[in-house]
Chain A
Amino acid sequence: MIDKIIENLAESVSVIEDGAVVLISGFGESGNPTELVHALIDHGARDLTLVNNNAGNGHVGLAALLESGQVRKMICSFPRSSHSEVFDTMYVGGRIELEVVPQGTLAERIRAAGAGIGGFYTRTTIGTPLADGKERRIYNGEEYVLEDPLYADVALVKANLADRWGNLTYRLAARNFGPIMCTAAKTTIVQARQIVDLGEIPPEQVVTPGIYVDRVVEVANPGSEREMIENDVHYPAGGAE
C-alpha cells in the first residue's frame, strides 16, 4: 500500500540533511509552506542552500530560516521587498551568498531538473551582465545563453488538497512554483490544507500527480505570513536578537 501521509510536521522534515539544496514554494506571500519552514528551523539542518522567488519577509517563514543562521546561500530572482530586512542586513553584512537568477530562467532551471533535461538555451540575459561567461549559441539568427538545471535535495511545497498517493491541487495563484518544485527534488515534502480520500480529487483536476510527491502532512489552518508580519511575529517566539 502506498501511504505518503506523515502524522506531524517534525517527522515530515526529519529527513533533511546538513548541506541540502532546498526548494521552497511560493511567490511573495502566496503559496509559502510556512509551517514546513518553521519545522525545518526546529529540525536544525545547517549549511543549506535555499531556492525561492524572493528572500523572505518579516521574521517568519523563509526570513526566520535565514535569521536562524542555517542558510549558506540564497538563490532567487527578487530578494528585495518592503519587508525583506532580514535578508538585506545579512547580505550587506556578508553573512549570506546570493545568486540572482531571472525569474523565468529560475523556473525553467527547476523544470529542467525535474524533467531530465540537461540544460537549455534562452535569450533571457543576452546583453546583460548576467550573461557574462555563459556558453552561447545562435538559433534563428538570435543569440541564446546556456543555463543549467537546478537540482535539489528537498522541496517544501504548500498545496490545497492532497491524498495518500500525493496527488495535489493548489489554491488560486498560490500554485506558482509548487508544481515544478515537486518534480525537481529527490524528496518532496508537502503541507496540504486538507487530506482527502483517494478519488476525491477528480483525475482531471489533479495538478501535481502523486508520482512527484514523497511526504504529505496536513496543516488545516496555515498561518498568513501577511498577518504575522503585521503583528510583528517572530519565529521561534522570542527569537529576535
Chain B
Amino acid sequence: MTDKLSRRQVAWRLAQDIEDGNYVNLGIGMPELVANYIPDDREIVFHSENGILGMGCEPRANKVDYDLINAGKKPVTMLPGGAFFHHADSFGMIRGGHIDVCVLGAFQVSAVGDLANWSTGGPDAVPAVGGAMDLAVGARKVLVMTDHNTKKGDFKIVDDCSYPLTGAGVVNTVFTDIAVIDILEGGPNVREKVAGVSFDELQSRTGTELAGADTCSELLAPDVG
C-alpha cells in the first residue's frame, strides 16, 4: 500500500486535472515538474510571466539561449504557434482572467483557501514576491502543489495562515504527497488520499478539520520516479 507519493508522482497527479486546451502557468520550483506529465491526448499552452505563450521543454545543451528563459530563469524552447509579448501584456493576461490554471507552491493554505507562499515573515529575510500575488488573484483556477507537512512535521494546511498572505480565498485544490483536497464553500474536502494513510491519520497531520471521510477515493499515481 502506498503511504506517500514522490514529488514527481504529485506532479503527475496534478497534471491529470489539467484539461485539454487549457492555458497554464507553472510556478517556480516543484510546479515546473507538472509539464512532464500532461497526457499525450491533451494540447496545453504554457504561459511564462516574462512574456511567453507556447513554451516548450528544456533545450539540448547546444541549443541553450539565455534570451529564452522561463520565470525560474531556466532555458526553455518555443513550440510552433508560440508568441512573445511584453510584461504589461503578460500580466494583463494573468489579472484579466485569461489564464485557466496556475500551479503554485505553498508555505501554508488555510481552510478558506488563503495562500501564503512568499514570505515567512522573518526579520532578516529579503522580501521577494515576484508574480505570485498577480497569479493568485488572476488565474481562473489556483492549484497548489506541496508536501502535506513541513520537514519538521508542522501543518501546512491550517485554520488560518500565520505567514503573510499571497492571496485571500484563492486556492481551489491542494495536491500533496498523501492527499488531494478541494477547498469548497464549506471548507476543505478530501477528494483522494493514499491507501496507506487512514482518514484519521490524514486528519491528525492536518491543521484544520477535513470533510470527505466517506466519499474520498484512493490517490494513485504510476511509478514515474
Contact = CB atoms under 8 A, between A and B. Distances in A.
A92 B91 contact: no
Contacts of A123: 95, 137-138
Contact of B124 (A92, A102, A126, A171): A92
B134 A102 contact: yes
Interface stretch (A7-15, A74-82, A196-204, A232-240): A74-82
B134 A105 contact: yes
A124 B118 CA distance: 14
A176 B126 contact: no
A192 B128 CA distance: 30
Given A27-B50, A30-B68, A102-B131, A172 B126 contact: no
Interface in A129-159: 129-130
Given A124-B95, A128-B166, A173-B51, A78 B129 contact: yes
A42 interface: no
B168 A177 contact: no
Interface size class of B (residues with CB under 8 A): 35 or more
Interface in A192-235: 207, 224, 226
Contacts of A41: none
Nearest to A27: B50
A107 B87 contact: yes
Contacts of B202: none
B86 interface: yes
B95 A111 contact: no
Given A100-B127, A104-B95, A28 B69 contact: yes
Contacts of A125: 133
Contact of A130 (B68, B73, B94, B129): B129
A185 interface: no
B67 A128 contact: no
A226 B67 CA distance: 11
B26 to A, nearest CB: 15
Contact of A30 (B67, B88, B133): B67
A172 B65 contact: yes
Residue among B73, B78, B167 with the highest chain A CB neighbour number at 10 A? B73
A224 B64 CA distance: 12
Contacts of B225: none
A180 B86 contact: yes
Contact of A171 (B67, B137, B164): B67
Nearest to B135: A104
B86 A172 contact: no
B84 to A, nearest CB: 5
Contact of A103 (B129, B164, B168): B129
A8 B165 CA distance: 47
Contacts of A107: 86-88, 90-91
Contact of B169 (A127, A170, A171, A226): A127
A98 B137 CA distance: 24
B69 A104 contact: no
B192 interface: no
Contact of B131 (A77, A100, A171): A77
Nearest to B161: A127
Nearest to B167: A127
Contacts of B49: 103-104
Contact of B52 (A31, A53, A173): A173
Interface in B73-107: 73, 78, 84-88, 90-92, 94-95
Given A102-B134, A123-B137, A173-B84, A108 B51 contact: no
Contact of B127 (A29, A98, A110): A98
20 contacts: A28-B73, A29-B69, A77-B128, A80-B126, A100-B129, A104-B91, A105-B134, A107-B91, A123-B95, A128-B164, A130-B129, A173-B48, A174-B67, A176-B50, A177-B86, A177-B87, A179-B86, A180-B88, A207-B86, A224-B66
Interface of B: 48-52, 65-69, 73, 78, 84-88, 90-92, 94-95, 114, 124, 126-134, 137-138, 164-169
Interface of A: 27-31, 53, 77-81, 84, 87-88, 91-92, 98, 100-105, 107-108, 110-111, 122-130, 170-180, 207, 224, 226
